Structure 1
Amino acid sequence: MATFSKSHAPRFSVEVYQNEYLPEGGREVNAIVTVTSTGGGTTGGIPIPAPVLAPAAYDRGGASADAAVVIMVDCSGSMDHPPTKMRNARDATAAAIDTVRDGVAFAVVAGTHKAVEVFPGNGQPATADPATRAGAKDALRKLSPGGGTAIGTWLMLADRLLASADVAIRHGILLTDGRNEHEEPEALRAALDACAGRFTCDARGVGTDWEVKEVTGIASALLGTADIVANPAELAADFRRMMETAMGKEIADVSLRLWTPRGAEVAFVKQVAPTVEDLTARRTDAGPRAGDYRTGSWGDESRDYHLCVRVPAAEVGREMLAARVSLVLPEPDGGGSPPPPLAQGLVRAVWTDDMAASTSMNPQVAHYTGQAELAQVIQQGMDARKSGDIEGATAKLGRAVQLASASGNEDTAKLLAKVVDVVDAPTGTVRLKAKVAEADEMTLETRSTKTVRVKK
């Protein structure tokens, strides 16, 4: 298994793509900010120019023991239908355990209408080595289906286990095959609110009897990924990939800090790649005219963010700094000097009477505006389809086909083609299919926020 030294500390860069020109009196500034971390993890980095090294004093990665992970396995009664589903879940958990690198703290939780620590069973995660991995896999034999589903209790136990580990990176993996029927929605929301910012969590729905919005909502609140594993036999491969990605995280609690000048205001902040996620409401104050937006933990990866800032109107010839974007780590406990930014970028506004310059949309902004709309119209179209609004569903899903085709989002186009018959993709002319497999419908909903990156 790979080990990591301090020399593998991630390096960050920020690149800003925008059309800074506004017409006289124009107020809205849009920019795509690409944040790239490389040199730290194992998840497939992207070469970047002139990277900025994370300061050694605040390096959260490198040491192989600086992480903890809890696997939450649904053991409710529905996992017995068919009986192979529980066996697949045990095999998938064993595959994930095999992927945990030496020195990482880990635990396994069985989830029903209550949460039970299956391994190690003493209220604290075990330290991964050949002996503890073998012990954990032996303990998986205790996993048997029975009882209900109360996911909030699973998350709260995972939080207690992760909090007991003195590590920087805390991660959860959650598997469910059913709806959260044995606790009130408010209880799950309270658990998510309590766990937000304390650990990240990837969520998976196996089969087709779970609720898409519940699973995607968990992943969204805890800055993880969500997906469907329609065939339980594919769980092991999916769990292995998730754990490999988790093991590639090398720096935790990174925030996107947005400073704006007096008179300017942030209209929205959205992650737009690799998935669409609106971060606007998650802002926390970070000093005068500055706000932080949590982005979670990072390995070797690149993400794109769409910023929209409203600035005071100005005359032709005026220029101003519309926003300063920084990547920051949390301030040290007990006070002290805050760590310097990992990387920074600037968003500008220039007022001009050149109509061509001020009306031209930056290609990156245009692309991701379309990707965000694509995710939105898919959700609207599927909701309309479920409610029996055939005309509305056809219009929305037709627009989705048009956007997917124009942007080259082939994966989403293929998923749409399982729900509609495409008559003409460029114009968005489609017909709803009379019969759609439930797995195809849920896959489209679950993966609707996945975007294709713009070619730069």
Structure 2
Amino acid sequence: MSSLTRPPQPGIRLHVDLGRDLRPHRSAKIEAHLRVDVSADGAPTDLPAVQLAVVVAVDVAEENRAAVRHALPAALRALPDRISFAVLGSGPEPVRCYPRGGEEWAVADHDERRRAAFVTGSLPLHRDGPRPAGYAAWVARAHALLAGRPASVRHLVLITDGSSAAGESRLEEQLEACAGEFTCDVFAVGTDWSPDPLLALAERLHGTAEFVDEGLGRAVTDAIGRLRRVHTPRLPIDVTVRPCVRQVSLSEKAPRPHRLGGLPQPGRPHRWSFPTYQWEQGRRDYLLTLVADSGADPLETELLFALVSIGDFHAAVTARWHLPGQSPPHVPAGADSVRELNATARMRDALRRGLAALRDDRPATAEDCLGQAARLAARFGTDWVLDEIRAVADIEDASAGRVRPRAVDAGTLGPMILRAGSRPGAPLPDTAGSRPGPHCGACGNPAGSEARYCIACGRALR
């Protein structure tokens, strides 16, 4: 996303925890937990509204007009002054409802908000006949609008009841075409929508997907308020790897699961850039995965496998190849951190798959997946996951993963699947510290990283 002016840069603290020391292998996997703490450091509390452009798209059938009749005007009347906005209504293709005439964008002030709220009273919605071919059409129309608006933050708010015609085969292609151009929040109303494409929209476009039964106007207003708390709209995480690393992937795990696409850097074959979006104050957790070949590397030698960079801040991913058949002298300090990151992702995935299995009437799969989610939730004290499971199953022993699914109304499962896939997760506990220095082989006393002799017994350190 482009910007007319350089936005205030946040303060960043960057920390990397390595999962484990390594055994030599042609395709060894190296996992590291990347933790980023962001503070405003003097940046304004709110991003100026003039730097925001928002498309509000209403993919709703006429029979569900009541879901948006009052909420949409209320959200438009709450827009901040000087924000750029446009409203799309429904037809055979998405159509611009506001502003009318030759203008593609309106800039909010008292009169524009009043006119927009009045016009949306006659917002065109889906009626009998042709309807847009799935969400790809909405994404494409928003992309065309936002591409011509040079704002720091460009965002789509999609309100949907799932009434677009089938045709989601183009959605992945369209998401690929507009990756990095704008972000998206999805609000589902009614009961006839499928959660899977909504989660795909939220994950690929770095936003959220949630079901809204009541309070849609407030939900849209809050979403736009979150945009104003963005201090840095786009911030790449660069990963520079040693030549033996053949594959690089990075995924955001908290606060929301997002799949990140790596961009190779022209002329720099060992450097990858992963764009990230909507940086606010707080903490983010990422899982960095490298696949490396040990063939040309020395054994039992500390090696730099990757350098992670965010702006002017850098952190190293270091490890060593151990001799076959020998136990490593210590477990890396970040091993627990990486295990928890992976386990938390498995917990979310198991909950989502278990709920989907209940929806599809596969009780054995549901019992297995929900049991796995319950076991991990009990281990980490994740109460919201246990609460979700209790809504659809009897938990006999959470720590052992014993649950008994119940018959559930399928209409209640869609919102639960959205929460499992898009609900913000709490940052992992700070269990990992810095990598330890050497230990004395004779008495086990720890020593500083630069120490040559044990301060307790005086023996040389290895």
Shift of 1:203: 1.0
Deviation string 1:327-358 (CA, Å, 9 cap, x unpaired) is 2xxxxxxxxxxxxx243221111345554624
Is the Cα–Cα contact under 8 Å of residues 249 and 262 in structure 2 kept in the other structure?
no
Q: Which runs of 5+ in 2 are unaligned?
A: 431-462
Shift of 1:70: 0.9
Deviation string 1:368-419 (CA, Å, 9 cap, x unpaired) is 1111111222233234334433222211111111111211221122112111
Shift of 1:439: 4.5
Task: Report 1:424-443 matches (<5 A).
Answer: 424-434=397-407, 436-443=408-415
- SS for the counterpart of 1:217 is helix
The equivalent residue for 1:17 is: 17
Is the Cα–Cα contact under 8 Å of residues 250 and 298 in structure 1 kept in the other structure?
yes
Shift of 1:23: 5.0
Shift of 1:423: 0.5
The equivalent residue for 1:198 is: 181
Supply the distance in 2 between the matched residues of 1:305 and 1:128 (Cα, whole angstroms): 37
Supply the distance in 1 between the matched residues of 2:198 and 2:207 (Cα, whole angstroms): 11
Supply the distance in 1 between the matched residues of 2:138 and 2:249 (Cα, whole angstroms): 32
The equivalent residue for 1:331 is: none
Supply the distance in 1 between the matched residues of 2:375 and 2:149 (Cα, whole angstroms): 48
User: Which of 234, 240, 264 matches 1:259?
Assistant: 240
Task: Report 1:157-168 matches (<5 A).
Answer: 157-168=141-152
Supply the distance in 1 between the matched residues of 2:412 and 2:316 (Cα, whole angstroms): 42
Shift of 1:35: 2.3
Q: Which runs of 5+ in 1 are unaligned?
A: 44-61, 328-340
Supply the distance in 1 between the matched residues of 2:79 and 2:10 (Cα, whole angstroms): 20
- Aligned letter for 2:92? H
Task: Report 1:239-250 matches (<5 A).
Answer: 239-250=220-231
Shift of 1:107: 1.2
Supply the distance in 2 between the matched residues of 1:73 and 1:268 (Cα, whole angstroms): 35
The equivalent residue for 2:159 is: 175
Deviation string 1:62-113 (CA, Å, 9 cap, x unpaired) is 5542221111112423424xxx3232xxx33334334433222111111343
Is the Cα–Cα contact under 8 Å of residues 172 and 201 in structure 1 kept in the other structure?
yes
Deviation string 1:157-209 (CA, Å, 9 cap, x unpaired) is 22222222222221110010124315x22343343233222111111211221
- Indicate the larger mover: 375-384 or 404-413: 375-384
User: Which of 381, 396, 400 matches 2:354?
Assistant: 381
The equivalent residue for 1:321 is: 304
TM-score (structure 2 length as normaliser): 0.81
Supply the distance in 2 between the matched residues of 1:251 and 1:370 (Cα, whole angstroms): 30
Supply the distance in 1 between the matched residues of 2:369 and 2:60 (Cα, whole angstroms): 38
Task: Report 1:48-197 matches (<5 A).
Answer: 63-80=48-65, 84-87=66-69, 91-121=70-100, 122-147=102-127, 148-150=131-133, 151-181=135-165, 184-197=167-180
- Aligned letter for 1:428? G
- SS for the counterpart of 1:101 is coil
- Indicate the larger mover: 409-418 or 71-80: 71-80
Task: Report 1:291-306 matches (<5 A).
Answer: 291-306=272-287
Is the Cα–Cα contact under 8 Å of residues 86 and 145 in structure 1 kept in the other structure?
no
Supply the distance in 1 between the matched residues of 2:221 and 2:48 (Cα, whole angstroms): 21
The equivalent residue for 2:200 is: 217
**Residues 439 and 387 (structure 1 numbering): CA distance in 2 closer, same or farther, change over 3 Å?**
closer
Percent identity of equivalent pairs: 24
- Indicate the larger mover: 212-221 or 246-255: 246-255
Task: Report 1:265-284 matches (<5 A).
Answer: 265-266=246-247, 268-279=249-260, 282-284=261-263
Supply the distance in 2 between the matched residues of 1:207 and 1:246 (Cα, whole angstroms): 26
- SS for the counterpart of 2:429 is coil
- Aligned residue-pair number: 409
State which structure, 1 or 2, has the greater radius of gyration over its C-alpha atoms: 2
- Aligned letter for 1:306? L
Is the Cα–Cα contact under 8 Å of residues 408 and 452 in structure 1 kept in the other structure?
no
**Residues 392 and 424 (structure 1 numbering): CA distance in 2 closer, same or farther, change over 3 Å?**
same
The equivalent residue for 2:34 is: 33
Supply the distance in 2 between the matched residues of 1:129 and 1:14 (Cα, whole angstroms): 40
- Aligned letter for 1:169? V
The equivalent residue for 1:409 is: 382
- Aligned letter for 2:272? G
The equivalent residue for 2:344 is: 371
- Aligned letter for 1:453? P
Deviation string 1:36-87 (CA, Å, 9 cap, x unpaired) is 33314759xxxxxxxxxxxxxxxxxx5542221111112423424xxx3232
**Residues 10 and 127 (structure 1 numbering): CA distance in 2 closer, same or farther, change over 3 Å?**
farther
- Aligned letter for 1:181? A
Supply the distance in 1 between the matched residues of 2:108 and 2:246 (Cα, whole angstroms): 47
- SS for the counterpart of 1:357 is coil
- SS for the counterpart of 2:215 is helix
- SS for the counterpart of 1:290 is strand
- SS for the counterpart of 1:166 is coil
- SS for the counterpart of 1:21 is coil
**Residues 158 and 405 (structure 1 numbering): CA distance in 2 closer, same or farther, change over 3 Å?**
same
The equivalent residue for 1:234 is: 215
Supply the distance in 2 between the matched residues of 1:216 and 1:375 (Cα, whole angstroms): 13
Deviation string 1:193-250 (CA, Å, 9 cap, x unpaired) is 3322211111121122101011111222222111112x2x221221121111122223
